[in-house]
Chain A
Amino acid sequence: DVKVTQSSRYLVKRTGEKVFLECVQDMDHENMFWYRQDPGLGLRLIYFSYDVKMKEKGDIPEGYSVSREKKERFSLILESASTNQTSMYLCASSLPLGTANTEAFFGQGTRLTVV
């Protein structure tokens, strides 16, 4: 059974803290994604990575950075957490386009609250 695992289901952090959200996939997928989801705004792409050490900005990268040192792990970093980063964060992975199946698999999400 395919799996994308996010390290925490719920997190509470203080303003100004450095926050790490971890995501691990066991499907040997090249592509990995980080989204945030807020009421009424749908899913918004923060960053994605199409290979180890490769990353590209999504629509809302400000205030975030990412790290992909190993194929199976994609980390989202909030350098200095702020209250407007309180949100549900979702990680996903997929095979590259051109392969037989480009379905994206999502983790269960991390609900981050910054106080």
Chain B
Amino acid sequence: LAKTTQPISMDSYEGQEVNITCSHNNIATNDYITWYQQFPSQGPRFIIQGYKTKVTNEVASLFIPADRKSSTLSLPRVSLSDTAVYYCLAFSEEDSSYKLIFGSGTRLLVRP
């Protein structure tokens, strides 16, 4: 399983773009990269998933360079409600199943 490394915390202000980078140096060929968001006292919520290049949805963009050793979650124009913990995961199929292993995440604080 690929180990992921993220910054422990980040600060931003409302209206700014926030980029959170995740390192996964030993990512395997079949690994996907997924990001989750977690608010206090709630379970994590899926944000975005990708394999390579760029993926965009209504919430965020995910940039994955050609070597796939890192990925960047981009949140455009954050608001106070984006204050949360963001988790980067790299997962793959092992045998007939796969494990979802979460790291410690990045605690994002958005200030007014």
Contacts and interface: CB of A to CB of B under 8 A. Distances in A.
Task: Tell whether A and B belong to one assembly.
Answer: yes
Interface of A: 4, 31, 33, 35, 40-45, 48, 50-51, 54, 56, 58-59, 90, 92, 94, 96-98, 102-109
B45 A106 contact: yes
B93 A107 contact: no
B90 to A, nearest CB: 12
Contacts of A107: 43
A106 B43 contact: yes
A50 B101 contact: no
A34 to B, nearest CB: 11
How would you classify the secondary structure of chain B's contact residues: helix, strand, loop or mixed? loop
Contacts, number: 71
6 contacts: A42-B104, A45-B99, A58-B99, A59-B101, A96-B97, A103-B46
Contacts of A45: 99-102
Interface string B47-60: 00100000000000
B3 to A, nearest CB: 12
Contacts of A92: 43-44, 100
Contacts of A96: 93, 96-98
Interface in B84-112: 87, 91-93, 96-105
Contacts of B96: 50-51, 96
